[in-house]
Structure 1
Amino acid sequence: MPRRLQQRGAGAKGPPAPASRRSHPASAPRSPPASAAKPLLRWDEVPDDFVECFILSGYRRLPCTAQECLASVLKPTNETLNFWTHFIPLLLFLSKFCRLFFLGGSDVPFHHPWLLPLWCYASGVLLTFAMSCTAHVFSCLSLRLRAVFFYLDYASISYYGFGSTVAYYYYLLPSLSLLDARVMQPYVQQRLGWHVDCTRLIAAYRALVLPVAFVLAVACTVACCKSRTDWCSYPFALRTFVFVMPLSMACPIMLESWLFDLRGENPTLFVHFYRRYFWLVVAAFFNVSKIPERIQPGLFDIIGHSHQLFHIFTFLSIYDQVYYVEEGLRQFLQASPAAPTFSGTVGYMLLLVVCLGLVIRKFLNNSDFCSKKFAIADSVRVL
């Protein structure tokens, strides 16, 4: 997923800018004719906002046409594998969800209310990968469109996070002993000697799960959009931390494994849940550390840099998540539960889309932001 390419302030770790960089715009090389293939550029030939930490070459020119952007996915640039490491998973997940919805994989018709949470979750997974692919391909169309794609990418991740919570709420949480008052009341009394009315606590938790997840989704998008401003010295670390927050909605599953025998009662959920979080930890490590390009700048410009590894481990984490969400759906269907409501599933998702759209609009209409971006555009014309 695209991100701010150069850390700011004291935290900046990118290649040092040469003193003569763009100091004589008149002597800069002219852009090649539109009919000629545009050569790739080094880090000191593109605007600062485009510079990847420790990535020295492989940059596309700005602006590119849509056709040039599309053609670049078949050429060795520093964005090529960023695209393919999400486009291939997008196709795999699209095939997976088509099987679940339309080929009898869920044993109920695709329009059944029982599948509404799965529709919410699937839309989040597919939108996240599709938006990331779009951002990596078309981020060099223009400076303003680049910002638009960044913000849409952040919003799609928040949308996916909330869709995951909706699937958890209906398919996974009801089967947990932790959220069953008939189990927890005697458990608390036996282990702690407390006489607590677990019924009210569990009811309060169930009532707050989706509203809290909704607020987190909006707040995370706001924080990530703000991370693209000059006050943020460590945007990668901030975004990684911000998007860890919605994962807290899965805490009941973790607590279940500590307090009860989740491994024995639901081995599928236990194994894939913890393996998913292992992949997420590995992905966060690469996203923040900028390894391996930090160790050998320039060697991993095209293949093997940290953002590609981040994509791969993110895909593995979602693959495990899809596996145990599907298993949760099977158990949900066997219990013949009450059907989820439209307002409690799709209605929430539509409201979130509106709120995220307003957040993005607010940041794009910020006059300081826009003036800064178009000021950079003047330096691009000399390339």
Structure 2
Amino acid sequence: MPRRLQPRGAGSRGPPAATAAASEAGPRPHPSAAAAAAAAAEPLAPAKPLLRWDEVPDDFVECFILSGYRRLPCTAQECLASVLKPTNETLNFWTHFIPLLLFLSKFCRLFFLSGRDVPFHHPWLLPLWCYASGVLLTFAMSCTAHVFSCLSLRLRAAFFYLDYASISYYGFGSTVAYYYYLLPGLSLLDARVMTPYVQQRLGWHVDCTRLIAAYRALVLPVAFVLAVACTVACCKSRTDWCSYPFALRTFVFVMPLSMACPIMLESWLFDLRGENPTLFVHFYRRYFWLVVAAFFNVSKIPERIHPGLFDIIGHSHQLFHIFTFLSIYDQVYYVEEGLRQFLEAPPAAPTFSGTVGYMLLLVLCLGLVIRKFLNNAESCSKK
């Protein structure tokens, strides 16, 4: 069992002699007045001290973070108050709460203040609703997990399972936005362009119509399966068998991003920089930010170099949050550009079942995954 610190006392009362002298000096005040006076005379209870890594359960210990841990268990009020105190979770919260507010403002402008003739409930905007819900849920769930992770061990696991599920939800929502707003405008996925290109460059007499149709039919189902599989893998990474949990989580978070491969191929095979410079610049800058974020998440730099120096400010998870925000910031810009081009000549109206219906089904599947892992954790703790 981890070693616990004993709670500090609230202060001792006066000695018996002083109490007796006070009682002989005059009549006793009313009990309620005496209690109020005693409470006012007592010093305020000091705030609970932060703990070191060897004073908290193993599940709470972060690699190379030696101090700044909150006491377990905390109340919900103490958890909320901790966002204004220097702990090793404080900036983990703020580096996602501030982006949450920025993206909330951005999506409100897109849906309600954009000046378009399309109302916010139009079917053409359903993919954007899926994408926006994924972005906002990811940041909101991350904030919640980092703030309330010290309520109890079980709730800590539950919050981080939900955090992993929200990232998978966001990844699938991104694919829905790509599918309707970005992929239809690619020459790569136009059989009338791709078939002559293959015949001219490779000499193959192949009709690409069926291949492209099969790809379009499989994009959303494959992305759906990947979202569920990634959540399962991330939840498993919190178990004892996983030796490199951060590397595993980083890898499975990157897998749903493979749905954007057609954009990368478009830039290699066709003149994406000339045809759509906004998409080209923001797309590649987004992936640069993602590579940097993955580097910090896996390497645990800078705290690996000097353990204890970056416990409160500057450790790798805070940097991971910042570069993740920058990557999504660029993604929002090119999704918005894809929406603008889609509205100029929409190929087909998105359906409710192909957008929101998929997202609701994914929520159900992810909920079942989390429930299974929580039940397994509870049964293991009872053995």
Please, what TM-score do these two structures have when normalized by structure 2? 0.88
Q: 1:37, CA displacement in angstroms?
A: 1.6
Q: 1:178, CA displacement in angstroms?
A: 0.1
| Counterpart contact for 1:4–1:228, Cα < 8 Å | no
| Counterpart contact for 1:216–1:246, Cα < 8 Å | yes
Find the counterpart in structure 1 of residue 174 from structure 2.
Answer: 164
Q: 1:104, CA displacement in angstroms?
A: 2.5
| Counterpart contact for 1:21–1:44, Cα < 8 Å | no
Q: RMSD over aligned Cα, in angstroms?
A: 10.5
| Counterpart contact for 1:22–1:28, Cα < 8 Å | no
Q: Percent of aligned positions with the same letter in both sequences?
A: 92
Find the counterpart in structure 2 of residue 315 from structure 1.
Answer: 325
Q: 1:14, CA displacement in angstroms?
A: 47
Q: 1:338, CA displacement in angstroms?
A: 1.9
Q: 1:337, CA displacement in angstroms?
A: 3.0
The superposition leaves residues 192-223 of structure 1 with CA deviations (integer Å, 9 ceiling, x where unpaired) of: 11111111000000000000000000000000
| Counterpart contact for 2:286–2:328, Cα < 8 Å | yes
Q: Which runs of 5+ in 2 are unaligned?
A: 17-22
Change (3 A) 1:216 1:139: same
CA distance, structure 2, for counterparts of residue 256 and residue 223 of structure 1: 31
CA distance, structure 2, for counterparts of residue 363 and residue 300 of structure 1: 32
Change (3 A) 1:6 1:310: farther
Q: 1:23, CA displacement in angstroms?
A: 50
Q: 1:184, CA displacement in angstroms?
A: 0.5
Q: 1:356, CA displacement in angstroms?
A: 0.1
Find the counterpart in structure 1 of residue 222 from structure 2.
Answer: 212
CA distance, structure 1, for counterparts of residue 235 and residue 353 of structure 2: 28
The superposition leaves residues 135-163 of structure 1 with CA deviations (integer Å, 9 ceiling, x where unpaired) of: 00000011110010010000000000000
Change (3 A) 1:66 1:157: same
Q: Which runs of 5+ in 1 are unaligned?
A: 374-383
Q: Which of 154-163 and 18-27 deviates more?
A: 18-27
The superposition leaves residues 5-32 of structure 1 with CA deviations (integer Å, 9 ceiling, x where unpaired) of: 9999999999999999999999999999
Change (3 A) 1:315 1:21: farther
| Counterpart contact for 1:8–1:233, Cα < 8 Å | no
Q: Which has the larger radius of gyration?
A: 2
| Counterpart contact for 2:182–2:335, Cα < 8 Å | yes
CA distance, structure 1, for counterparts of residue 13 and residue 216 of structure 2: 44
| Counterpart contact for 1:99–1:105, Cα < 8 Å | no
Q: 1:67, CA displacement in angstroms?
A: 0.4
CA distance, structure 2, for counterparts of residue 266 and residue 49 of structure 1: 47
Mapping of residues 1-383 of structure 1, within 5 Å: 36-104=46-114, 106-366=116-376, 370-371=380-381
Secondary structure at the aligned position of 1:193 is classed as coil
Secondary structure at the aligned position of 1:365 is classed as helix
| Counterpart contact for 2:5–2:55, Cα < 8 Å | no
CA distance, structure 2, for counterparts of residue 19 and residue 189 of structure 1: 109
Q: 1:108, CA displacement in angstroms?
A: 1.4
Please, what TM-score do these two structures have when normalized by structure 1? 0.88
Q: How many residues align?
A: 373
| Counterpart contact for 1:124–1:159, Cα < 8 Å | yes
| Counterpart contact for 1:6–1:52, Cα < 8 Å | no
Q: 1:270, CA displacement in angstroms?
A: 0.2
Change (3 A) 1:21 1:144: farther
| Counterpart contact for 1:6–1:51, Cα < 8 Å | no
